[in-house]
Structure 1
Amino acid sequence: MRITISAFIVACSAALVVASPVQAPLQVEHEAGTAITARPKKLHGRFLHITDMHPDPFYTAHSSTKRSCHGKNPKKKQAGYWGTPDAECDSPLRLTNFTLDYLDKHWAGDIDFVVWTGDNARHDEDHQIPRTPSEIFDLNRQVAMRMEKIFLKRGIPVVPSIGNNDIWLLFASNFPHLNVATWQQNIMTPGPNSITNEFVSIWQPFVPFPQRQVFQRGAYYSTEVIPGRVAVISLNSIYFYDSNKAVGGCQYNEREDAGNLEFDWLEVQLKMYRNKNMLVYLSGHIPPSPGMYFPECYVRYVELSLRFQDIILGHLYGHMNVDYFSFVEEIDLEIIPNEDPKPDRAAADGLYETLMSEFAHLPSESDEDKLDGLAAISVAPSVVPNPFVPGFRIFSYNVSSEALVKPTGKRNHGHRRGRRGDKDKHCQEEQYSRSWKCHLDQPWHSDPDAPSRRNQAFTPLGFAQFYMPDIAEANKTHPPHFKLEYLTYELTALHPKGSGDEKFVYPVPVRQLPRSLRDGKKESSKYAPYSMTDLTIGSWVGLGRRLGAEGYGKLRRRFRKYMFVSV
């Protein structure tokens, strides 16, 4: 039977309308005449990282988990009222609303900006209710309106990034005898395209006007979250993702490839912020990893991360729905013939073992020369309870008056290029000559006195992770609760001496702490197993070394528990 593309689109749209249950939309209140002009007058020294909400308008409580929590009359496991951990189900809209309401009530007045790293539509697990672009865009639009209402209208900048489930492209079928195009996920062609055109409208309040032309080309942009001091660069990681077969994978000889153009733009942005003596966070959806990025895209990400280590405060990502950190390393830029491929960090069942193996080979945190060749990647847990319970992070950074009044010197000029190994020999060989590894030789700007290496103004100090441990038991009359899961800080940092002086800032507002932490009781140490002084690269390496060493079994067990969000 001949099926036209237009008929296919109409059929998908009809399925969405017919199958759509009666359910309250994401709650958005409009305020006529409200101008988004105010900025926080005083820095709180905190920001929110939230990711992977995955709202599902078809989620039905008490339905079958085998049908993505859409079906009826389940024989075994039923869908929960607020969400269903340990099942291939997305978030009911009530969970998305509950989370955003909670942030509105409890946190919006205590943070300076929001990093929001994508996936604001459901997965495509239920083939009887296929996703359509209109559904995906509508869900993203609803969440964006709520983020604007809660944060932006308070003068709090919000920096979204596009996720792999925020796109769903009509792509030519590999089965020509069917004479039909098919919807494929993880596919994003070079822009401008229908996706970038739609998101430049959806995210119009968040993307600065001068950045919109660039955004329309590739769905990436940068924005100053603390004017003149700190910016966040939102990357489109879909152009680096090896599941995206519509791009070239950053091959050296394909200079117009979408990934290469994005990295060229990123290099310009980093140079510009460095010249302005500003600091940046890199954010995106899919974390950099040899198992998820095209090899040449990964090389370019590592090189830029290390070359501009002095101004990059951190790397913030989502996608994995688990809580962990990893490193990009100088050795990733070397040519090692016959090297065994690195383990795939994307394989969740082996992720913990892979990380422990990598951590075991980290250098000493006191070896400043070796720290030049490392950058820490922070991956946050998801709001969607798939497969674990919802979570979000509140980061703190140094805004003490002592740090802020101290003049910030210009960053040093580049002083090294990293180890070349046997590049001079191997780059003459045809199999390596067209790799970016043989062509990235700009001086690095690593600096032991940079904010990413030494605690000073705007250095990230730590984070508090909040989660929803009672989601499975909660019901219509007994809603769930967000509670503190753990902190990265030393306990003494929660109650700084002389805290009556304005130069001291609480990393976590006291009212947000469990009673034992407010009172400073000994048993409160269960919330602070890492005792990190800050989130500089040396501190991340120190924690990694402890986790990778023998004799830290208790710490490893805690890390594994937190990694899978305490279930």
Structure 2
Amino acid sequence: MLFFPSLLFLAAGLAVDDVIALPSQKPLAIEPLRPKKLHGRFLHITDIHPDPHYVQKASESTACHRRKSKKKKNISLYYGTPYSECDSPFALTNFTLDYLKESWADEIDFVIWTGDNARHDNDRQIPRTPSEIYDLNRSIATKMHKLFSSRGIHVVPSLGNNDIWPHNILSPGPNSITNEFAQIWSQFIPFPYLQVFQRGAYYTVEVVPDQLAAISLNTMYFYDSNKVVSGCPFTDPNDPGNLQIDWMEVQLEMYRKRGMQVWITGHVPPSASNYFPECYVRYAELSLRYQDTIVGHLFGHMNVDHFFLLDAGDLNAFPKLDSKKGGSGNSKIRGEGTFYDALLEEFSSLPKSPKMTDYAAVNVAPSVVPNPYLPAFRIFSYNITGASNGAPPMVTQRRKHGEHRNDRNNSASCEHPDYQKTWRCHLDQPWHSDENSPSRTNQLWTPLGYAQFFIPALDEASKNKPPRFELEYMTYPLDLLHPETTEGAEGEFVYPVPLAYLPEPLRTPGSKKSKFAPYEMRDLTIPSWIRLARQIADGERRKLRKRFLKYMYLGGEAE
């Protein structure tokens, strides 16, 4: 077993069994989750990146591993080094997880945890090893179990590109990595899915039994940096990416027939700049086909706070066959300039009267690791009015039949023999895009918004002065913060953000404007996301654009 000297000075004041440390190899006993009253909130946390070799007062140029720098501004800090290329010290990891335990464990229903729980491979003098990666993941998983799932709160982890060795590279399973994580996450993965997980590292959890599920994907089989898979080619049905999409389709159809709603979660976001072309096409088509069943898409990896839209137009774009990326949609995100500029260009291309059936919104959360920005996490809220709270499944409205997509402009291109071997020319299943579904209109299970918390003064923290998580911004309008005062409010009052976690001026009704509420979104339905994208694209909305840019990089410089 590895021994890390840096474990000797973990966060002060924490009990031995409360710190991130080297875990026992003994598997945890699986405790049954107890039904609990719903709070209408959940946590999304991603990219923790704990680093056992982090040293205080070390040089940033050594990944904060060695003391070389004599310049004060270039040395590592006790709780982490903001806007740097250094990973998280255990002090920050423990502080974050203990804060979540003390402040949020009694306020949420489940946890979406989207990967990267080992350090980056950014120091040639201290290369990563499989044992170190597994030990770090096992440590975080042990603490996640203690903080959440042991209390009856489902935790839904996903595999990150730095959770494997070498990073980015994962061969088709079953293999040593999928088998190892099946053991590490055994307390989170439902037993019926363990065999599926060993094959491909994906699974599903009913976070509200019989009513709401989360599908955790293994995006390594879609990620175009993974050079040992083929990238979902139409001609290879046994490619691991194709097998995963096939499995995902079966799960969505099953949940749709049961009248349930689903969150899709994973590490690497589903854009054409990240996914193999054919994997992207299949993911986008399946997401739009089950728009009445999928309430949202949650991802990490990018460390940049943003959202983007899956667009049916991507399915009609036929790239040059020798193109590296295949031009499979969202090509504007790969344009010149900063990532922010590319998003503005994408938002600006939305039609004046977009067809809602053609879109889905993908949310990408910022990271805990201050590499290269600031530590952050999100608390989402969702509509639970009418939820059965552990009672027998409620009777849901009958789903409408799907809409055949005969308007697709691909007939001429698909006559080409090479295009006949691509997925674009074979995705002809009916689309289920009910305008009365939770992804389109506010009702039971509709996502309502999120509040983002961050540590703005990480550079001022020290061993004797712990940092503080503060509200950075939220998507809600101010009147929804106090539901008992909202005109026309129905059902049980659920505060999207508990009042104790709001800045003092927002704890009582009456505020008209606030820097903490720049978007004023009444929910996170597809129409609301499209409306926000159009507002950001509006060149006259300079203040909103400035806010969006600031939040993207948590106050850092645009890239």
Q: Deviations over 1:92-132 (max 9, x none)?
A: 01100000000000000000000000000000111100000
Partner of 2:86: 89
Partner of 1:66: 61
Residue 146 in 1 paired to residue 127 in 2? no
Partner of 1:26: 20
Equivalent-residue separation in structure 1 for 2:21 and 2:512 (angstroms): 40
Partner of 1:540: 529
Partner of 1:393: 378
Partner of 2:474: 487
Secondary structure of 1:463's aligned partner: strand
Partner of 2:253: 271
Change (3 A) 1:349 1:392: farther
Partner of 1:507: 496
Partner of 1:432: 419
What's the offset of the Cα at 1:550? 2.1
Q: Deviations over 1:31-59 (max 9, x none)?
A: x9997234342110000000000000000
Q: Which moved further from structure 2: 232-241 or 501-510?
A: 501-510
Partner of 1:373: 358
Change (3 A) 1:192 1:34: closer
Change (3 A) 1:134 1:415: same
Gaps (5+ residues) in structure 1? Answer: 1-12, 169-183
Q: Which moved further from structure 2: 395-404 or 437-446?
A: 395-404
Residue 214 in 1 paired to residue 199 in 2? no
Equivalent-residue separation in structure 2 for 1:347 and 1:480 (angstroms): 37
Amino acid across the alignment from 1:26: I
Partner of 2:461: 474
TM-score (norm. length: structure 2): 0.91
Candidates 279, 291, 305, aligned match of 2:287: 305
Q: How does 1:40-189 map to 2 (within 5 A)?
A: 40-76=35-71, 77-168=74-165, 184-189=166-171
Secondary structure of 2:307's aligned partner: strand
The answer on whether the counterparts of 2:378 and 2:450 sit within 8 Å (CA) in structure 1 is: yes
Amino acid across the alignment from 1:58: H
Q: How does 1:239-254 map to 2 (within 5 A)?
A: 239-254=221-236
Partner of 1:177: none
Equivalent-residue separation in structure 1 for 2:394 and 2:537 (angstroms): 37
Secondary structure of 2:164's aligned partner: coil
What's the offset of the Cα at 1:75? 2.5
Secondary structure of 2:448's aligned partner: strand
Residue 260 in 1 paired to residue 254 in 2? no
Change (3 A) 1:38 1:217: closer
The answer on whether the counterparts of 1:471 and 1:480 sit within 8 Å (CA) in structure 2 is: yes
Residue 453 in 1 paired to residue 440 in 2? yes
Secondary structure of 2:292's aligned partner: coil
Amino acid across the alignment from 1:534: D
Gaps (5+ residues) in structure 2? Answer: 11-18
What's the offset of the Cα at 1:321? 0.4
Q: How does 1:275-286 map to 2 (within 5 A)?
A: 275-286=257-268
Candidates 398, 402, 408, aligned match of 1:410: 398
Secondary structure of 1:453's aligned partner: coil
Secondary structure of 1:109's aligned partner: coil
Q: Deviations over 1:200-220 (max 9, x none)?
A: 000000000000000000000
Partner of 1:174: none
Amino acid across the alignment from 1:525: S
What's the offset of the Cα at 1:556? 0.3
The answer on whether the counterparts of 2:22 and 2:135 sit within 8 Å (CA) in structure 1 is: no
TM-score (norm. length: structure 1): 0.89
Amino acid across the alignment from 1:272: M
Name the count of aligned residue pairs. Answer: 533
Partner of 1:353: 341
The answer on whether the counterparts of 1:403 and 1:456 sit within 8 Å (CA) in structure 2 is: no
Amino acid across the alignment from 1:43: L
Equivalent-residue separation in structure 2 for 1:222 and 1:406 (angstroms): 21
- Same amino acid, percent of matched pairs: 55
Secondary structure of 2:210's aligned partner: coil
Candidates 173, 183, 187, aligned match of 1:201: 183
Equivalent-residue separation in structure 2 for 1:33 and 1:282 (angstroms): 27
What's the offset of the Cα at 1:20? 6.4
The answer on whether the counterparts of 1:352 and 1:560 sit within 8 Å (CA) in structure 2 is: yes
The answer on whether the counterparts of 2:30 and 2:187 sit within 8 Å (CA) in structure 1 is: no
Change (3 A) 1:197 1:480: same
Q: How does 1:511-530 map to 2 (within 5 A)?
A: 511-520=500-509, 522=511, 525-530=514-519
The answer on whether the counterparts of 2:332 and 2:343 sit within 8 Å (CA) in structure 1 is: no
What's the offset of the Cα at 1:324? 0.2
Q: CA RMSD in A?
A: 2.5
Equivalent-residue separation in structure 2 for 1:305 and 1:455 (angstroms): 19
Amino acid across the alignment from 1:374: Y
Equivalent-residue separation in structure 2 for 1:221 and 1:78 (angstroms): 42
Partner of 1:181: none
The answer on whether the counterparts of 1:417 and 1:441 sit within 8 Å (CA) in structure 2 is: yes
Partner of 2:208: 226
